[in-house]
């Protein structure tokens, strides 16, 4: 150990002290950081931003915009987004929903209108009417309301629905 301490003390004496107290990055590290930040993958991540309502928050109002929304707490009001809406398990949304994709793991009290895809997860509860392009329902989920899916105003489509069974033969 004595040899190691000597080497450190020699190195400390050999390196001059900088008058600038700010830590310095060498140019290679800064270039690597800049190139990784501006990579195409990062650019698409920035374009698809997601707003989150945390589990310990309760908010009342209205959400409108073109990003993705994830609700883990409680929200009372309408949600109209040109993106995806995710309601986490344990979360509750009371209000009307209009979004591209709606994933329900918590509870939604309100209608879903004009979604291209809706997923009702096994912990999901929907109390309201649903109009969507496609619907996926997991075993254990609950729903009360009217459902219309697979219909297009221009031409009738073949309805798509997936049911997962939790029963073993």
Give 85 or 150, the one with higher predicted confidence. 85
Q: What is the pLDDT of residues 44-93, one digit of tens each?
A: 444 568 999 999 999 999 999 999 999 999 999 999 999 999 999 999 99
Residue 104 lies in a domain: yes
Residue 148 lies in a domain: yes
pLDDT of 143 above 80: yes
Any idea of the CA torsion for 140, 146, 152, 156, to the nearest 10 degrees?
A: 90
Q: What is the pLDDT of residues 26-42, one digit of tens each?
A: 444 444 444 444 434 44
Residue 10 lies in a domain: no
Exposure string of 5-22, with b = 16+ CB inside 10 Å and e = fewer, is eeeeeeeeeeeeeeeeee
Residue 38 lies in a domain: no
Residue 9 lies in a domain: no
Name the residue range of residue 127's domain: 52-154
Backbone angles phi, psi at 62, to 5 degrees: -145, 140
When divided into structural domains, the chain yields a total of: 1
pTM of the model: 0.65
Residue 1 lies in a domain: no
Residue 130 lies in a domain: yes
Residue 53 CA to residue 74 CA, distance in Å, equals: 8
Backbone angles phi, psi at 167, to 5 degrees: -95, 140
The residue written with tokens 């309601």 in the block is 87
Residue 107 lies in a domain: yes
């Amino acid at each position: 150990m004595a040899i190691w301490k000597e080497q450190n003390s020699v190195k400390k004496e050999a390196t001059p002290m900088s008058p600038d107290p700010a830590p310095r990055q060498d140019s290679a590290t800064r270039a690597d950081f800049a190139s990784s930040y501006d990579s195409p993958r990062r650019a698409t991540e920035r374009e698809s931003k997601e707003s989150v309502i945390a589990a310990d928050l309760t908010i009342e109002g209205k959400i409108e915009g073109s990003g993705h929304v994830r609700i883990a707490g409680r929200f009372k009001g309408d949600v109209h987004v040109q993106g995806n809406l995710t309601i986490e398990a344990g979360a509750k949304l009371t209000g009307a929903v209009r979004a591209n994709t709606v994933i329900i793991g918590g509870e939604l009290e309100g209608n879903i209108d004009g979604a291209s895809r809706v997923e009702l997860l096994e912990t999901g509860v929907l109390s309201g009417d649903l109009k969507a392009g496609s619907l996926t329902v997991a075993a254990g989920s609950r729903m009360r309301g009217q459902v219309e899916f697979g219909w297009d105003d221009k031409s009738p489509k073949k309805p798509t629905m997936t049911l997962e069974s939790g029963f073993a033969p």
